[in-house]
A and B are shown apart, each in its own frame.
Chain A
Amino acid sequence: MFDIDLWREIFQSINKNRTRSLLSGFTVAFAILLFTILFGIANGLQNTFAEAFVDDATNSIFINSGKTTQAHKGLQSGRWIRFKNEDFDYIKEEFGNKVEFITARLYRNAQASFRNEQGNYNLRAVHPDHQFLEKTIIKEGRYINQNDIQNRTKVVVIGRLVDEDLFVKTTALGKYINLSGIQYKVVGVFTDDGGDNEERLIYMPISTAQHIYGNNDYIDQINLTYNPEMNYDEALSFGHLITKKMKERFSVARDDQRAIRVRNMAEGTKAVGQMTFGLSVIILVIGFGTLMAGIVGVSNIMIFIVKERTKEIGIRKALGASPRSIVSIILIESILITAIAGYVGLLLGVGVLELVGPDLKAYFIKDPGVSNSLVIGATVTLILAGAIAGYLPAKKASKIKPIVALRND
């Protein structure tokens, strides 16, 4: 029931006891302000962290080859190991459904030109699965497909920045780009969250590149992602299994660290997971701490307010106020102040984060911010705490015999 007179009483009480209202409001606003800023900064740290580690698929395994460092099975050390298409096929068949996506990679450099514009770019020749491994986002057109691989079509997919560099006045899609003297059709333009370098790349079908650059079937690197249903330990042993099989296949000594190198992201994932977990715990502790401080502050103020108003309560009771009206007038006043002050604190906190947020990037804090639901949750918690903290003394005060309250000069 909306009782305009009750609200009038409350607003008058807030307005006429300004010091008291401001003081209690300040405590709440400050608690929420601190909460917002600390939480925002912690979130910023976590964002930096997430960005640094999860651009590419986190279940990736990279297989590289190098020179042997030990003689083994009658073969000399210093032998070059080079992967070929058959090795790629071997892994694909040997490990079956343990592999989610797999691609070979061939690295080249290309002088690219279109009309009068030209530039030097890294070229990656890949299989279609590469798109998912690298989390490449197709902006226009399409990615390399199986048909390209089979027919060795002369097509490329270019990064957003390549597009901007070379295709100044026209769109790239469907045009022919010149790479070291050969024309390739641009079938797609992509973007990538991994930063500028990742967008300054040109992808082409691996079979095309093998044909053009040396007419062989060499591969520089094999990348794959393991089945995401594998847990951490399974993923680790899967990485070890690949290492073992590949070393056997190329007659490399077991403890030769150079010839076959397998980098398993699962190893890092666990560390990242632990760090993120640690960070979340710190965030939680900070949030909980500020909130507790706020709750204690609000409770103190409520007890003080009720004490201060004891005489007024006595007068009101002598004039015929029911205990209920006493409790409601005190509680609603405190809830109102807490809510408004909480909102002010929230606005200030978000404002501060917006203001200094961009400057904090140098300190590994990216996009510091808090979700609205979180801060509103914190404010509601404070309001509830204030209400509970106020309710008990208010209830007690409403039960005091008026004569006791009035004697309290």
Chain B
Amino acid sequence: MLKINQLHKSYPIGDSSLHVLKGIDLKVEEGEMVAIMGSSGSGKSTLLNIIGMLDEADSGDYILDGLPIKNLTEKKAAIYRNKFLGFIFQSFNLINYKNALENVALPLYYQGMKRKERQEKALFHLGKVGLADWADHLPKELSGGQNQRVAIARALAANPKLLLADEPTGALDTTTSYEIMAFIQQLNDEGKTILMVTHEEDIANMCKRIVRLRDGVIMEDKKVEQVRAEQYV
């Protein structure tokens, strides 16, 4: 599904540059649920952003579903993002003047889907996260957990091959975090490949595999016994 070879990335800081990723090798199969862990500055978010085509690597190979991701034009990157990837952010990143339904429908709009079809599909995904009754509410009228569920519905709407989550529970309290994790586990059970950045041990243990980064290199990559989130909800 996803193959990364000797990935390097550095950011310029003043005159010098900060080498964030120092040769990452990573392979993720379809249906996996991977947590990327590491202290801040370890390069975990940078790695996720490169995988998400939100950022570009300096060198190295990245192949997503057989497609080499390299030197993409903005337009092509936009199409790939829309087709292959779903994003879940720590701060939800919903558009504040659009209601839940419109937010979920947005990636479908960029796929060029017809309005009616778009709304039906968006409503279906909102229903899946249990927010069908909240479709016409604005983000500010929803709780943090609800907003993250809207964001998950949005990430799912375009039926992506890979779901990327950047600290999806970072802005939520423990109970809500577990609720969200239960959703994500359910998605994984249904076959979605999920890649998640977190620095919380308990959240990471709810995945099936943990990749630990330190100073830009992978220190440890191991399969773990998945802890189900439902039991805490």
A residues with a Cβ closer than 8 A to B are 4-5, 8-9, 12-13, 16-17, 311-312, 314-325, 398-399, 401-403, 406, 409
Contact = CB atoms under 8 A, between A and B. Distances in A.
Contact of A317 (B78, B98, B111, B154): B78
Contacts of B83: 320
B163 to A, nearest CB: 13
A187 B107 CA distance: 85
Interface in B45-74: 49, 52, 54-56, 74
Contacts of A5: 109, 115
A409 B89 CA distance: 12
B221 to A, nearest CB: 24
B98 to A, nearest CB: 7
A9 B109 contact: yes
Contact of B95 (A315, A322, A403, A409): A315
Interface residues of B, number: 29
Nearest to A318: B87
Binding site secondary structure of chain A: helix
Contacts of B82: 319-320
A368 to B, nearest CB: 43
16 contacts: A12-B102, A312-B95, A315-B94, A315-B95, A318-B87, A319-B107, A319-B110, A320-B79, A320-B158, A322-B79, A323-B74, A323-B78, A325-B110, A399-B74, A401-B55, A403-B54
Nearest to B107: A319
B61 to A, nearest CB: 20
Interface string B20-36: 00000000000000000
B162 to A, nearest CB: 13
Contacts of A403: 49, 54-55
A406 B93 CA distance: 8
Contacts of B106: 316, 319
Interface string B87-115: 10101011101100010001101110001
B137 interface: no
B222 interface: no
Contacts of A314: 93
A177 to B, nearest CB: 80
A202 B74 CA distance: 84
A316 B98 CA distance: 12
Q: B56, B93, B107, B154 — which one has the most chain A CB atoms within 10 A of its CB?
A: B93
Nearest to A8: B115
A214 to B, nearest CB: 92
A290 B81 CA distance: 46
Contacts of A324: 75
A332 to B, nearest CB: 15
Given A5-B115, A17-B97, A315-B93, A321 B110 contact: yes
A319 B81 contact: yes
Contacts of A325: 110
Chain A CB within 10 Å — which of B54, B78, B102, B154 has the most? B78
B54 A402 contact: yes
Contacts of A398: 74
A164 B229 CA distance: 102
Contacts of A9: 109
Contacts of A12: 97-98, 102
Given A323-B74, A323-B75, A318 B110 contact: no
A322 B79 CA distance: 8
B89 A322 contact: no
Most buried by A among B81, B111, B154: B81
A13 B97 contact: yes
A236 B98 CA distance: 76
B228 to A, nearest CB: 30
A4 B81 CA distance: 24
Nearest to A6: B109
Contacts of A311: 93
B128 to A, nearest CB: 18
Contacts of B74: 322-323, 398-399
B158 to A, nearest CB: 7
A324 B55 CA distance: 19
Contacts of B49: 403
Contacts of B107: 319-320
- Shortest Cβ-Cβ A-B pairs, 7 listed: A320-B82, A16-B97, A403-B54, A320-B110, A319-B107, A322-B78, A323-B74
Given A12-B97, A409-B91, A318 B52 contact: yes
Nearest to B112: A5
B55 A318 contact: no
Contacts of A406: 54, 89, 93
Contacts of B81: 317-320
A136 to B, nearest CB: 68
Contacts of A312: 95
Nearest to A18: B97
A403 B56 CA distance: 10
B139 to A, nearest CB: 11
Contacts of B111: 320
Contacts of B97: 12-13, 16-17
Interface in B167-220: none
